[in-house]
Amino acid sequence: MRRGFAFVVAVLGLIMADSASAQMDTRTFMDPGFRLPFGSSSPIPRTVVSYTGSHAPGTIIIDTRERRLYLVQGNGTALRYGIGVGRDGFRWGGTHRVTAKKEWPDWTPPKQMLRRRPDLPRHMKGGIDNPLGARALYLGSTLYRIHGSNEPETIGQAVSSGCFRMTNEDVVDLYNRVPVGALVIVRN
């Protein structure tokens, strides 16, 4: 009953608000069964898979060739999410830690991106139209993040400038499971 009420309130808020400033009540995302009302379902469903590696529970492993993110769960399992990755020339690998987490983050394109795309805004407040989506996990001292996307059709594609895109639904799930300090291993 409460989930249904929260959904109705969220949808009404979206209908009544100007899309540039619309913000969801983030408490509705705490329910793992909640689905975002703006088409966030992934073309690659989140699944539990077998995991036989030696990494500790809570470790994030990103396989850019496979275009999947794994969250090690322990007990021989991992959660597997579909992701969008960097296009040719923008893929990278390495080991970092989650250094910050933000809900409905603002977006300021880096200078390198603005040189390539001078048509981009210099800053965007967080919200539904923001390219970082509902959540962002910042990776070490890099310019890169694991973040949501308002373009779920890009999941499974190589289209970003190096960040890892997830549907808003999946990034909220990951965000709620991963603490600041979590190890992130990016494999090319």
Classify residue 19 by burial, with Cβ atoms within 10 Å: 0-12, 13-18, 19+. Answer: exposed
CATH code where residue 67 lies: 2.40.440.10
Classify residue 152 by burial, with Cβ atoms within 10 Å: 0-12, 13-18, 19+. Answer: buried
Confirm whether 21 is domain-assigned. Answer: no
Does 107 or 77 have the greater pLDDT score? 77
Confirm whether 181 is domain-assigned. Answer: yes
Domain that holds residue 137: 40-187
List the structure tokens of 122: 């210099």
Residue 40 pLDDT level (bands cut at 50, 70, 90): low
Confirm whether 19 is domain-assigned. Answer: no
Tens digits of per-residue pLDDT, 56-89? 999 999 999 999 999 999 899 999 999 999 988 8
* pTM of the predicted structure, to 2 decimals: 0.77
Confirm whether 22 is domain-assigned. Answer: no
Confirm whether 128 is domain-assigned. Answer: yes
Q: What is the mean pLDDT of the chain?
A: 81
Confirm whether 151 is domain-assigned. Answer: yes
Confirm whether 114 is domain-assigned. Answer: yes
Q: How many domains does the chain have?
A: 1
The C-alpha atoms of residue 66 and residue 164 are separated, in whole angstroms, by: 13
List the structure tokens of 46: 């989140």
What residues act catalytically? 147, 163
Tens digits of per-residue pLDDT, 12-25? 333 333 333 233 33
* Closest of 83, 84, 61 to residue 72, by C-alpha: 61
| Average pLDDT of the residues in 119-141 | 91
The C-alpha atoms of residue 156 and residue 159 are separated, in whole angstroms, by: 9
Confirm whether 14 is domain-assigned. Answer: no
